[in-house]
Amino acid sequence: MNSEFESPRLNDPLDTPNEECGVVGVYAPGAEASRLAFFGLFALQHRGQESAGIAASNGETLNVHAEMGLVTQIFREPDFYPLAGERAIGHTRYSTTGSSLLCNAQPMIVEGYQGRLALANNGNIINCAQLQTQLKKDWNCTFESTTDTEVMAYMLANASGADWEERLFYCMRQLEGAYSLVALTEDTLMAARDPLGIRPLCIGKLDGGWIIASESCALDHLGATYMRELEPGEVVIIDPQGFRSSVWSGATGRRALCVFELIYFARPDSLLDNKLVHSVRQELGAQLAREHPVEADLVIGIPDSSTAAAIGYARESGIPFSEGLVKNRYVGRTFIEPEQRMRDLGVRQKFNPLTEVIAGQRIVVVDDSIVRGTTTPHVVGLLRKAGAAEIHMRVCAPPIKHPCFMGVDMATRQELIAANQTVDEIRKFIDADTLGYLDVKGLMKVVGGTDGGFCDACFTGNYPVPVQLELTKLVLEEPPAELELLSD
């Protein structure tokens, strides 16, 4: 096997884009907002499994509890006692800027000119090193983490403006990149979405209060009524004067929602861009069948993210759908390093083939993406060992040729197999009989982005904002360049 494309993450057996983050904000009159935030985060656990936290305010004090691990591992009953109050924000994290360290767990609380403030973010600020340098110079800010979220928090806590709406707009003029943030002071809950709407954020109503979340599935779990997605460049303020929202005047109306939210990241029961994700994925599979038909006996998906697309492929092609791989849903990220023998088993820890279903069959295998190409050969190997007569790999994302700088840990260009090999070379590498990727035009036809509206930079290299191609997630762990901040 070509070691050039081996993943450096030996303890991560799945060759997929890594999740970004999930955020939730709660205003719950007469209730404990932190407990609602907990269940909101539980619904968003798929968006990040490295750390989680909740900050809450009772109108006078602002407290936070954040630790490494899963949401259910971090919070016990005594942890909620200091988190009393009607307002809370929460965060579950996969690191996109900054290492997976406790100091980078969110929400983060900072002290600034405007007082104490807690902030949590889903996204990635590509000019965070320059902003950090400027914050140190202008406001003598002392940073304790290596994440762009602390940069954002200090900027908002010190921003000029008559009210929080103006201060958030001040930040929007400075921040470059993707963000969907929630913030909290002693008496105010805030939310904002970047001017291109790259990362998702929605709002719902609950018992006279409000719930803000990365995905609508969190609203469903809390029994909230889904209202809408925040507009690109929109800020929401919930304070003693009530609820209000407005859109930054600098927002151009151009949209660039990350298309991978629909392909892979979002839960299938969430609404994104006014579409049910499950239905979109079925249609992606159907489009894949139109573009890459093949004679076969069964269609199977790589569970669970590709199941809907596999069903769509089967319906369109007329080939029966069947489960072919059983997923062990209790295998996740762990801090325990497995011995080498268990590392070598890799995918076997995650999937087990249904041999009696697969043996002797010509199989179409539908997957959501191939990133580094480190897992797919093992999946194909499992199916061949189970007796598959033919294996036709179908991928409901175009070839990933460019890294993401907008909040997804996608891998470097050197690690991306499609950036370095042709489709036929990849087919040989994964040992499939045929290989077909969804075309970019076909993808956009399905999601409704033929006239724009989505970020597809990982396929095309057309980034929605200018980026430094050498930018890394550890940028704040290196000496930042002394670059001047663009004036507002």
Q: Between the CA of residue 483 and those of 123, 141, 432, 443, what are the distances in Å?
A: 22, 17, 49, 38
Cα Rg of the chain, angstroms:
23
Question: What's the length of the chain?
Answer: 488
CB distance 53 to 90 below 8 Å: yes
Of 193, 198, 218, 195, which Cα lies nearest the Cα of 206? Answer: 218
String of b and e for 50-74 (b: at least 16 CB within 10 Å)? bbbbbbbbbeeebbbbbebebbeeb
Of 9, 116, 6, 118, which Cα lies nearest the Cα of 53? Answer: 118
How many whole angstroms separate alpha carbon 176 and alpha carbon 413?
A: 22
How many whole angstroms separate alpha carbon 263 and alpha carbon 267?
A: 10
State the amino acid at position 485 in one-letter form.
L
CB distance 46 to 232 below 8 Å: no
171 is known as an active-site residue: no
Q: Which entry of 21, 128, 258, 396 is annotated as an active-site residue? A: 21
How many whole angstroms separate alpha carbon 61 and alpha carbon 54?
A: 14
How many whole angstroms separate alpha carbon 100 and alpha carbon 51?
A: 8
CB distance 88 to 34 below 8 Å: yes
Residues marked as catalytic: 21
